[in-house]
Amino acid sequence: MTHFSGLRSWTLLGVAAALGFVLIGQPAQAHGLAHGGLGHGFLHPITGVDHLLLLIGVGAAASYVSAELLLWGLAGAVLGGLAGAMGFALPFAEVLAALAISAVALLILRSHRDGRSPGLAFGGTLVAGAVALHALLHGGEAPVDGSALGWWAGALAASLLVSGGSFLALRRLPLVWTARLALLLAVLGGALALVPLAAQAG
């Protein structure tokens, strides 16, 4: 029974990995100026593959390390979004945002390897920084007309739904599932980081 369960979980992980690599190649990963109100804002972090993977990673980290990481992530989202809306930008921001997915995943894998959680200050700072990088991109993409408030509300609702849903789902599963998901996220984050670099090289 244990062998079958392990085989099934690795099979599901393999399917998820294949799907992840297919999604990476889709144009939804690219960033540009967003438009629309509540509905468009809600879809934005879900249809952006890099944003979606990070939100899943934050939920996974919170389920493995501490639920308080969700609050750290929210703080990072607010700060990053404000900075982006005010025009602040970083060089290679998309590459850094992709690597942030891997960083959150490695936080989980380190905890799994060591058998203990990292300090909350360290884990919280890492998660807040990772989310802030993605929110910075959101801030630069957000509409600047009268639909902006609705767009931000939709984006926040979707982000909370995905990260919170991931947190609740993974809390019900054995820890090894979260560790395997983290391994997948670490690989996909690294692969995503290569996409903008390859585009610039081409």
Q: What is the pLDDT of residue 70?
A: 97
Is the CB of residue 154 less than 8 Å from the CB of residue 37? Answer: yes
Task: Please report the pLDDT score of residue 77 as a whole number.
Answer: 94
Query: To the nearest whole number, what is the mean pLDDT of the chain?
Result: 82
Query: Over the stretch 62-107, which tens digit does the pLDDT of each residue have?
Result: 999 999 999 999 999 999 999 988 888 888 888 999 999 999 999 9
- DSSP 3-state percent helix, strand, coil across the chain (nearest 5): 80, 0, 20
73 lies in which domain range? 38-201
User: How far apart are the C-alpha atoms of 55 and 34, rounded to whole Å?
Assistant: 19
Q: Identify whether 24 is part of a domain.
A: no
Are the C-beta atoms of 118 and 63 separated by less than 8 Å?
A: no
Assign 3 a pLDDT band (cuts: 50, 70, 90): very low
What is the number of domains present in the chain? 1
Take residue 128 and report the two structure tokens written for it. 């807040």
Q: Given a cut of 50, is residue 29 above it in pLDDT? A: no
84 belongs to a structural domain: yes
Q: What is the pLDDT of residues 12-28, one digit of tens each?
A: 555 444 444 544 444 44
Closest CA to 42 of 190, 151, 177, 189: 151
Residue 18 lies in a domain: no
Q: What is the pLDDT of residue 8?
A: 53
**Which residue is listed with tokens 């007309």?**
145
Residue 16 lies in a domain: no
For residue 176 the two structure tokens come to 């090894």
Mean predicted confidence (pLDDT) in 29-42: 68
Q: Give residue for tokens 């109100």.
A: 37
* Within a domain: 65: yes
Residue 188 lies in a domain: yes
Q: Which distant-in-sequence residues (6+ apart) come within 8 Å of 116 by Cβ?
A: none
Looking at per-residue confidence, does 198 or 36 come out higher? Answer: 36
Q: List the one residue out of 132, 167, 155 whose CA is nearest residue 41.
A: 155
For residues 123 and 117, the answer to whether their CB atoms sit within 8 Å is yes
105: exposed, middle or buried (Cβ count in 10 Å: 0-12, 13-18, 19+): buried
Report CA 163 to chain centroid distance, whole Å. 8
Q: Pick from 25, 15, 44: which is nearest to 181 by CA?
A: 15
